[in-house]
A = this chain, B = another copy of it.
């Protein structure tokens, strides 16, 4: 038994020769997300991802045990991609903060995340780890920003203290998702601002 374990350990950590090149893992994961967003989980093939990443299919299977694990890993690596929690806008008003947070990069990142989610929709209930990955990498980061901006507005007395922060923080995301998935239109800057001005701000008692 000891012999077998030792041999396996040696296979896992080879001492000689070329080491595995992990520098291109991000490219592979990005390619996986692209294909996922474009074609959906079930119609996405490993060959598509390999081809787009200019890699061999065997290379992918040397790194990930299955298609599902590759996708879960790809989703997880979106976690801190499009949002820099460090320097959020602080304009002094809720509207100012929300609008300042709508940058081209932010719009593009949100659109990508929605399309990835759409591609995972059918799969998300059958694959257990996937729901968690989506929640912590796609949903939560976005909600966290809005919660923070709303809480600031409460702290400075701009909006009522009993505002339903949780529901309000999901309002823009919900409308953007519906517009993208159902209406098949882009959730562009002017749409997002209109949601803020016509729905979110009135809901907390601020008439723009």
Chain A positions within 8 Å of B, measured between CB atoms, are 39-43, 117-119, 121-123, 125-126, 131, 134, 139, 164, 167-168, 170-171, 173-175, 177-178, 181-184, 194-195, 198-199, 202-205
Contacts and interface: CB of A to CB of B under 8 A. Distances in A.
A43 B122 contact: yes
A40 B199 contact: no
Copies of this chain, whole number:
2
A204 B207 CA distance: 10
Given A164-B198, A174-B178, A178-B173, A123 B203 contact: no
Nearest to A202: B203
Contacts of A171: 175, 199
A58 B138 CA distance: 43
B167 A195 contact: yes
A139 B119 CA distance: 20
Given A121-B181, A182-B117, A43 B126 contact: yes
A190 to B, nearest CB: 12
Contact of A198 (B134, B181, B184, B203): B203
The 6 closest A-B CB pairs, nearest first, are A40-B122, A42-B42, A174-B178, A121-B121, A202-B203, A174-B174
Contacts of A204: 202
A17 B119 CA distance: 48
